[in-house]
């Protein structure tokens, strides 16, 4: 785990853009087990590709999209381990990955962006990927 003073600005990067930070497995279970609506889940991280690509892409896509998920949530890898583990249960069969981005519709995982899609990609391509997923599922 990292000191909270280090991660507070990283958390705020997404929460200030409308993402709700989930801290417990119970919170994650409640949101992701809902059978109606769309939920975008960001597995946040302190790594460089989260800072330079994942978080900016999330904020840009949500701001620019005409169709958006009903709910935006985030869990923080390396901090709330139990909440992250619960979110990753819903993301199976994909292996654990941080950062990563998942879109759920009516309780089903419909779109997944893993770390390797983020770190080796251009920012605008990630934004376009997210906007395309929003158009298809939201």
pLDDT tens readout for residues 33-58: 999 999 999 999 999 899 999 999 99
> What is the 3 state secondary structure string of the chain?
CCCHHHHHHHHHHHHCCCCEECCCHHHHHHHHCCCCCEEEEEEECCCHHHHHHHHHHHHHHHHHCCCCCCEEEEEECCCCHHHHHHHHHHCCCCCCCCCEEEEEECCEEEEEECHHHHHCCCHHHHHHHHHHHHHHHC
What are the catalytic residues? 47, 49
What CATH number should be reported for the domain holding residue 24? 3.40.30.10
Q: Which domain holds residue 40?
A: 4-137
Tell me the per-residue pLDDT of 94-134, one tens digit each, with 9 for 90 and over.
999 999 999 999 999 999 999 999 998 999 999 999 999 99
Split into its structural domains, the chain has a count of 1
């Amino acid at each position: 785990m990292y000191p909270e003073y280090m991660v507070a600005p990283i958390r705020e990067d997404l929460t200030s853009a409308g993402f709700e930070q989930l801290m417990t497995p119970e919170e994650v279970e409640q949101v992701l087990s809902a059978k109606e609506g769309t939920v975008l889940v960001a597995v946040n991280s302190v790594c460089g590709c989260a800072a330079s690509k994942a978080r900016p892409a999330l904020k840009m896509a949500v701001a620019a999209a005409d169709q958006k998920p009903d709910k935006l949530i985030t869990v923080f890898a390396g901090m709330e381990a139990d909440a992250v583990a619960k979110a990753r249960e819903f993301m199976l069969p994909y292996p654990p990955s941080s950062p990563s981005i998942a879109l759920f519709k009516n309780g089903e995982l419909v779109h997944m962006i893993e770390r390797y899609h983020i770190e080796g990609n251009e920012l605008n391509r990630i934004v376009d990927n997210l906007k395309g997923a929003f158009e298809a599922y939201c």
